[in-house]
Amino acid sequence: MPSHSRVSLYVCVVLLGYGCTVSNQITNTPRSSIEQRLLVRALERALANLDSRPFKGKTVAVDFYGLTADKDFAKEFFTAWLQSQGVRTVASADQAQLHLKVFASALGADQGQSFLGVPAFTVPLVGFVVPEIPLFKNIKHAGYAELKISATDTTTGDFVNESAPATGRSAYDDYTVLVLIHFTRTDLETPTWSLVGDG
């Protein structure tokens, strides 16, 4: 039997023996839906750890600072949260009692992987790619947010209040065991706060 035929036969045996399948995740947005949900849940949980009592019943103007483009969404999310806590928000500091500077020192999604098995490889001569054969594989997705508020009096410019850093985390873990067993563990559906909350 020619050598390339033996290689092809070996590949078929491997594929049939392990029952491997190849799955591709296609994303048409800069962030996958899982990443988006991880960021939102982490942001919600960070907000739940912030104390809004010093600002209740007051009119505030908000400036939001972050290191990524997600800060624009986070600012509007934070503003909606303030309003749900009984804080009046205005666009201009001239119309506000307090000027809030909100710092998102962290707002992102991380990914890590643990793998035990046979990695993907290309069969010599025929150039056929054999997909990975995972005996155990865990892809960990984690969202993390850290927020801090600094407040000043808009009339005098005097420092009024500064919050302790508030953090929020979220997780989505994707497991594959013995090639065919696949499941996920996540806390994305765990409720945090709503816009109707009482703070």
Residue 127 domain flag: no
The count of domains in the chain is 1
* In the predicted structure, residue 191 carries a pLDDT above the cut 60: no
pLDDT one-digit tens code per residue, 14-69: 444 444 444 445 556 778 889 999 999 999 999 999 999 999 989 999 999 999 99
Residue 39 located in a structural domain:
yes
- pLDDT tens-digit map of 155-182: 999 999 899 999 999 999 999 999 889 9
- Pairing outcome for strands 98-118 and 133-153: antiparallel
User: Would residue 165 count as lying in a domain?
Assistant: yes
Task: Note whether residue 105 is domain-resident.
Answer: yes
Q: How much is the pTM?
A: 0.75
Inter-CA distances, 11 with 17, 30, 174, 181, 197, Å: 10, 36, 27, 22, 58
Whether residue 199 is contained in a domain is answered as no
**In this predicted model, what pLDDT tens digit does every residue of 87-113 receive, in sequence order?**
999 998 889 999 999 999 999 999 999
CATH number of the CATH domain containing 153:
3.40.50
Q: Does residue 169 lie in a domain region? A: yes
On whether residue 56 sits in a domain, the answer given is: yes
Strands, E assignment, the chain: 59-66, 88-90, 98-118, 121-122, 129-130, 133-153, 159-162, 166-177, 181-186
Q: Say if 40 falls within a structural domain.
A: yes
- Distance from C-alpha of 41 to C-alpha of 190, rounded to nearest angstrom: 9
Give residue 6's pLDDT.
43
* pLDDT tens column, 108-123: 999 999 999 999 989 8
Domain with 39, as residue range(s), is: 33-119+134-186
